[in-house]
Structure 1
Amino acid sequence: MKNYFSFLLLLFLPFGCNDTNGNKAIEKTINDSSSLYLIKAQRKGAKSSEKLKYFKKSLNVLKNQQNDSITRGKLFELTKDLYKNNFENDFLNSANLLAKLSLKSKDSFHLAQAYRIKGNYYKNLINPDSAFIYYTESEKILKKLKNKEGLSFILINKSIIQFDAGDYTGADRTLNNAYLISKKNNEIDNLYATSVMMGLTSLETKDYDKAIQYFNNGLNIISKTNSLLGQFNRETCLNNIGLSYQRKGNYSKSIEYFSSGLKNKSIKNDDPELYSLLLDNLGFSYLKVGDLDKAYKLILEALKIREELNYPNLIVLSKVHLSEYYRQIKDTSSSKRFITEALSLAKKEKTLRDYLPALKQASLIDTKNASSYSKEYIRLSDSIRNIEILSQEKFARIQLETDEIIEEKGKLEEKNRTLLYVFLGVMVVVSLLFIVRAQRARTRELVYKQAQQKANEDIYNLLISQQNIIDESRTEEKKKIARDLHDGVLGRMFGARLNLDSLNGKTDEESIKKRLGYLEELKNIEQDIREISHDLNREKQVLINNFVSIVSNLLEEQNASHEAELVHYIDNTIQWDKINNTTKINMYRMLQESLQNINKYAKATQINVEFKKIEENLVLTILDNGEGFDVNKKNKGIGVQNMISRTHECNGIIDISSIKGTGTSIIITIPIETKKEIIET
């Protein structure tokens, strides 16, 4: 018979807790389109189709917004509104989206709320298994968060599912937890609902004194609070207390409470279902104390209301009571008629719990078939008990499986974390080994380059030393030639000049012949001087072109070995013999380093090299049309650092400019420091 009173409790259960996580609720911002649509949907007088249109628009906006706490808070508000307005499909879409976003962002609070709302949804669909699973999931999350807001509401709903399935022990355990939380948080609504549910549970387990105690506790809560929890909560408690006394056999006390409940005349119009309950229960109590006239009127009035409301289960109960009335006044035919109608209706509606009292009454009236009714009653009672036992086991299994899934999930997460740490550790070790190996290779390469540079420097120094020896030899040769000119050619010229002077003024044939002879001698001297001059000229050119030759060889080798086209120009006004060897070496090395860098990195197709004399400076310009590089990079290569160092060694200036994709320009300007000239004496 619990279906006749448990539904009253559901009328007073709130939808749920506030959207809070220990902080203030998320406020809607009216400048957000999703909130604007939500406000339009919540307007008074809005049609159902109009509400749904704005709810859908709000949901579409939220789908495309960033997954943050504000979006999830608004989505939670929207989900609640869709639930309240019975838009089932859109509610499920919104609730599933809220759960998905909450899982993704690890928002445990909103995930718990999503599960809680889905639990409400499936409970109303009379799908207790799904409802129980979602309530359990929500309960576990809120307990883990140590957030008691809304937890009592979830526990109350879980207890209702357990209660309806006949799991009274499980329901009582759940309700005790809900009561403690509601009392601690001073949740008046939930405290009242918990007291009533605990009373109903005690009523079903036939602990009538405890049931009366819990219902009276509910009455005390109503009397102490200024706000009304529900319109007829007091009358509901009075009905339940009267029902407890009726089950206990104290009919006079039950009549007192049922009558007290009926004193509120507004129940008849505002809550006819509760009114019919009070009438029928009062009529049955009068029936038990022998006041048959009052009993008949009350039960008949209750039946009429129930038939108008079309409540089959309550109609069955009224007809069972009327059958009992006719049995007591010895009208067997009417008694049989009403009990037959009650059995038929209970069987048609497949309400087993309504069928039981009808079978019990039928066994009392139809003595001929009493045995078959009793057997059917026992069979059905056992069947219901088995179903209740199976339900208890089922909910225990769901709870256990949920715990096992959570435990398995925890183990899997731990295993994944371990694998991740191992993978990261291996990656770190491999990376370190790669870095060490790469660093060693780079070090070997640098050592090799340094050795190569040293060898090249030694070779060039040998070339320069050889050139110095050649210069010294040529200087000696010059001195020798100077002596030969002084002692030979000049002496002959002086003698020829004196002889010609002595022949001036003489016109005889012999004098003329001598004069012609001396003129021929002067021609020979002139030829000797010309030849000496030519020899000296060639020697100077060779001397001058020695550095140029080395540079030219380098440039020719570049052209021969690489695809880039190289164009070079060497200013012929540069007096290379007056430039010191250190400057030449550094200039050669910087040119060599630049060409190496171009070949390695630039991917150039055109290279220009120029040696120019600008005022008192020697300027080396190297241009390429390659990929370029970032000249502002802090860590410059060792080659570039060497070029800068060599330039500073020569008291010069180096300008390196480069733009990625357009090539590189290197301009080296070094002041000309002439070698100390040899002063002849």
Structure 2
Amino acid sequence: MVLMIGLLSQAQQSIVDSLVQNAAVQITDSLKIDKLHKDFFKYVYSKPKVANQIADYTIANTKVENSPYQHAQSLIRKGIYYDVVSKKDSALLLYDRAMEIAAPRKDYISMGNVYNDKGLVYWNRDELELAMEQYVLGAEVFEKVDYDRGLSSIYNNMGLILYDLGRYTESKTSHLKALKIRERLKDTYGLGASYSNLSNVAKRLDQRDSTQYYMRKAIEIKKESNDKRGLAIAYQNLGIDFRDARVLDSAIFYSEKAQILYEEINNKRLSANNLVTLAEMFQLDGQYEKGIDRIKQGILLIKEDQHKQLAEMEVIKGRLHAYNKDFKESAAAYARALEHRDSYEETERTAQAQEYYEKYQSAQKEQEIAEQRAQLAENDLKLQRRNQTIYLLIGGAILIGLLGFFFMRQRQIKSEQKAKEKELELALAKIETQNKLHEQRLRISRDLHDNIGSQLTFLISSLDNLKYAQNLDANVTNSKLASLSGFTRNTIGELRDTIWAMNKNKISLEDIEERTTSMIAQFNATNNDQIIWNVEFDAANVVIFNSVNGMHVFRIIQEAINNALKYAEANEISIYATSDDQDVHITIKDNGKGFELDNYQPGNGIKNMKERARLINSVLDLSSKKDAGTTIQFSIPSDSYSK
């Protein structure tokens, strides 16, 4: 292994040495650096370590005093390398250093490059407003020097931001502006990117002919320029388009071609993303074993701390195992997904707290700087007055002293007032938070008392009865103990569900879908009688409840499933969730033995379900016929959830 690393390092250094020798034939040192700057972009995506060595070489061989433009450009390229290898903070630091050189010298090209590249960092962090702000600043400075190549990149990135925001018509306009410039410049690489982006926008606008046209143009351009990374992305997008049209053989064909190229350039992030897409395609095509193989490969490429992405991939893996009738592996995958989801949410909360602290620190520093500037301005005024006559100097000094005292006193009063207002706001916020926590504890306490408490009381009573039943047959005793064991597991499950809700401020419909699917998978994994189930939550990505309402929805679904398994003796259960402009509609249907509603007296389970529905401003609708199964429906109004 050590030998292999050494050989790779030597190979990379050999490439850099060769590039430096080729650049050395240039007439001047400036042209030599320009040549290496161009070479940097040939390697930054395919061989980032080579690109890093090029950037280090150009930084070391340029000075701010003699060649500020080239030194700033070298720092920018080092920042791009850090961005590619996901060291975002280091990238921003290098960009700021480049801006410190470029801004005082009105080097508008370097300034525009910094704005553009910082926008990419913020975009990858999903900070879209900050990204768009950087792009607008970049466009302004590029327009000052008519730098069309930079403008085309800015327009392209603006189009990508607008696409992420769902503003597809505006996104198309921005991409067409970039395309027009790139056609005039004959920018082969840029043309490939513009065609790919326009294909994606056309797909969102349901313009299928345009989608195919732009994508095939992108593939043609990227083949000509030998852009393997861009060609792989184009193949992947074309495969996704065929998947959406349910032409699965073509979808798999192009996605596999993309995977070969991703592996050639060793791009783990894009490769993992494509493997997820392939796994979903094989699921749609009924090739579950191949789908499982692809998703396993994808998981191996993801870092252990990428909990959000790993959770999504484990859900897909669990679904594939379920379709393949391997319910134990399915349950294990869903369990890992829940673990990653919990870890991701905890990390997110920690990062948010750190962000708030950093903002607070920045605000304090800005206030200190403002006070220092005010003090400097006051000192300058005093110096100017000293250049006047002695009498004016004395009078002016006294006047300035009085004014200074007055302003300082006013500032002190305002500062004290602001501090008191801030303390009051913090106190009110703390009281409000404590009230909310108290209300939530009361709700959870009531839930624990009503459900878990009664079940544990029953368990204690049953164990006491067994203690006094000394003469019972061993089989009867074992049967009762097995029943109590199952009852205990059910109680533990309900306790876990309650703790799960306690740890969340919000519960999405997607969370409820995963919890429901995991529950059914666990049942199939531990019982001989397998349940055929179908869970379709079309609205899962957009519906979010608070923890209380989310728990009510889950408990209704859970009780309906338990009734179907325990009393209706069903072997097939379907759960659907759909949404319209106003409500979310949930249906639980089984093929059990059913009953006649006219002769039915509802028990505590049905009453509890109806009460929970009432608490979320809904009404539970129960329909059933003997030997024809049971259907439970309820609709959740928009004032009980958010999007």
Which fold has the larger relative contact order, with Cα–Cα distance below 8 Å and residues 6 or more apart in sequence? 1
Look at both structures and tell me which one has the larger radius of gyration over its CA atoms. Answer: 1
